[in-house]
Structure 1
Amino acid sequence: MNIGFEERHIEVSGLTTRYLTAGNNDPPLVLLHGVGDSAADWSWVLEDIGTRHRVLALDFPGAGDSAKPRRDYSIDFLTQFLRDFLQILEIPRAVLVGNSLGGLIALRFALSNPEQVPALILVDSMGFGQVVNPILSSLTLPLYGELAIAWCKTPLGAKQRAWSRAALLFANPWEVPAKWLAEQERMGLLPGFLEANLSMLRSQIYVLGQQNLVLESLPQVQMPTLVVWGVNDLVIPYNQAQDAVSRLQQGHLALIPSCGHLPQVEQPKLFADALKQFLPGHL
């Protein structure tokens, strides 16, 4: 993981919450990760983006080094958690940057609280179409996900989980940063992490694909919105990004070549450049 940013812990709605922060220029950028990931995914771009903006990358409950209570990790719960997080830190307005499930949560928050979100950045976001990789939808089957958890809690299973996720999430899995793999392996062995993330996955995906779609709501999005997508995303095809941008009032599209589901990790410079080109004209 890079240096140059600070790790902090706060209490949000009674839950210990970790976040990473860098920079000091407002309005801040709040970075939201996806299922099975954490704030660490943003560490490859925090310093770069932090030279121009204050950035905060949080661990949702159930992820990273935040608390992992046994509960239902619904999209409504995570959206409310984001609201509470911003309130605790006294952040009245923030650019939301959401990857995968984090993108869907950012979008739902922005639709409900447009005055708090001057701009929106959605990165390989869920919620734009039903199609999703069947590897993920199969995990939502009764008992199958629980059996996968039992195996992944073993040291060998944790390693296999990390490499399997690399093959799914990256266009070039043989070039995945060793620190990303190590973090995936570490998290897989944390008590409560796999159960919480299976609950998150099931909140958005079922055997036939994605649910909680927001395509019909996109014309209501008022703020400038950048949609960033890896051209080689195996989780969600990039044609969903093109469809989404066509429905937005102020939609902009940045396709990242030779890149999968995590542009901020696989192509951090191209990802940061896309944000630098978008943000100055829209804040």
Structure 2
Amino acid sequence: MQKPIEKDIVVDGQLIHYYHAEALAERKNTVVFLHGWGSNSPLWFSSTLPLTEKGYELLFIDLPGFGKSQSPKKPLHLDDYARIVLDFVQKLGIAQPILVGHSFGGKISIRIASKKVIKLTGLVLVDSSGLPHTSFATQTKIRIAKTVKPIMELSFMQGIRSHLLRFSGSDDYIALPELRETFVHIIREHIEFELPRIEAETLILWGGNDDNSYTPVSDVSVFHSLIPHAEAHIIQNVGHYCFLDAPKEFYETLLGFLESLHGKN
């Protein structure tokens, strides 16, 4: 299995780091992967790189502020992340890509798909965020994100901050200090009204034990009912990172969906 090539590109004045894995068989489609909040691209590799042997070109983007990409110079909104991904795709000359987004990356993918600036061959939402949730844990995360920055100025409070953030829910939504305002913007924006506008064939892929307060498995039925051309698959006995916990089933399900799209566009 090949090792992806690491590259950098400037998009909207932002240095973006990404990974490129070329197709090792007759080329089919290009698949663009977007990670979740607080995550990075290499987490995808173990469950997705074998797709290159089936003819798929793979691109993994480190979103601004994460992985090896530059931190944003100012707070960003969901539209900013969507625009950066769109400009990245267009700058590389990728026609009709397939977007695969996990959690926060799924939310970005939904915004891109619903705006229809480019035509997508397909869309895959993996434990995606985006639906409104007003649980105690969710509100606690927002409050912590808004108030924790002053605490960070006291170095001895680092451990307390880490404990508070983990108490509030998932590591996927730990807000880095420099992304505090961005985090609040993103978490408050919901996209359920955009779902019926998605025209791309969509796979909703979820961990059956996902109890993240932003992405509970109960959201699957909502996404499935609101996205016109959607199918859903729940991987049992795994959580929010289903592609890490059950890489074989994740890969086989994703491959089956990609193969069903081949030749349609």
Residue 12 of structure 1 and its aligned partner are, at CA, apart by: 1.7
Question: What is the match of residue 5 of structure 1?
Answer: 4
Within 1, Cα distance between the matches of 2:237 and 2:92? 37
Please tell me whether the aligned partners of residues 110 and 117 of structure 1 are also in contact (alpha carbons under 8 angstroms). Answer: yes
Amino acid at match of 2:15: T
SS in 1 for 2:15: strand
Within 2, Cα distance between the matches of 1:230 and 1:217? 23
SS in 2 for 1:79: helix
Q: How does 1:69-218 map to 2 (within 5 A)?
A: 69-113=72-116, 115-127=118-130, 129-131=131-133, 134-141=136-143, 143-146=146-149, 149=152, 157=159, 164=166, 168=170, 194-205=176-187, 211-218=188-195
Amino acid at match of 1:22: A
Within 1, Cα distance between the matches of 2:53 and 2:160? 35
Amino acid at match of 2:60: A
After superposition, the Cα gap between the structure-2 partners of 1:54 and 1:168, relative to the gap in structure 1 and judged at 3 Å, is same
After superposition, the Cα gap between the structure-2 partners of 1:227 and 1:238, relative to the gap in structure 1 and judged at 3 Å, is same
Within 2, Cα distance between the matches of 1:158 and 1:63? 22
Question: What is the match of residue 280 of structure 1?
Answer: 259
Question: What is the match of residue 227 of structure 1?
Answer: 204
1:261 aligns with 2:261: no
Residue 34 of structure 1 and its aligned partner are, at CA, apart by: 1.4
Within 2, Cα distance between the matches of 1:262 and 1:133? 21
Residue 196 of structure 1 and its aligned partner are, at CA, apart by: 4.2
Amino acid at match of 1:257: Q
Please tell me whether the aligned partners of residues 198 and 228 of structure 2 are also in contact (alpha carbons under 8 angstroms). Answer: yes
RMSD: 3.0
Residue 278 of structure 1 and its aligned partner are, at CA, apart by: 1.1
Residue 6 of structure 1 and its aligned partner are, at CA, apart by: 1.7
Please tell me whether the aligned partners of residues 149 and 194 of structure 1 are also in contact (alpha carbons under 8 angstroms). Answer: no
Name which of structure 1's ranges 252-261 and 215-224 shifts more when overlaid on structure 2: 215-224
Residue 61 of structure 1 and its aligned partner are, at CA, apart by: 0.9
Number of residue pairs aligned between Structure 1 and Structure 2: 252
TM-score, normalisation: structure 1:
0.78
Question: What is the match of residue 33 of structure 2?
Answer: 31
Deviation string, structure 1 residues 236-272 (Cα, Å, up to 9, x no partner) = 2111111210222211101011211122222222211
Deviation string, structure 1 residues 168-203 (Cα, Å, up to 9, x no partner) = 369xxxxxxxxxxxxxxxxx9xxxx82344334212
Amino acid at match of 2:180: L
Deviation string, structure 1 residues 4-46 (Cα, Å, up to 9, x no partner) = 2222122222222111121323421100111111112212223
Structure 2 unaligned spans of 5+:
none
Within 1, Cα distance between the matches of 2:86 and 2:226? 26
Please tell me whether the aligned partners of residues 121 and 200 of structure 2 are also in contact (alpha carbons under 8 angstroms). Answer: yes
Within 2, Cα distance between the matches of 1:197 and 1:27? 33
Within 2, Cα distance between the matches of 1:164 and 1:224? 35
Please tell me whether the aligned partners of residues 209 and 239 of structure 2 are also in contact (alpha carbons under 8 angstroms). Answer: yes
SS in 2 for 1:84: helix
After superposition, the Cα gap between the structure-2 partners of 1:242 and 1:146, relative to the gap in structure 1 and judged at 3 Å, is same
Deviation string, structure 1 residues 53-94 (Cα, Å, up to 9, x no partner) = 111110111111101133112101101101111122111220
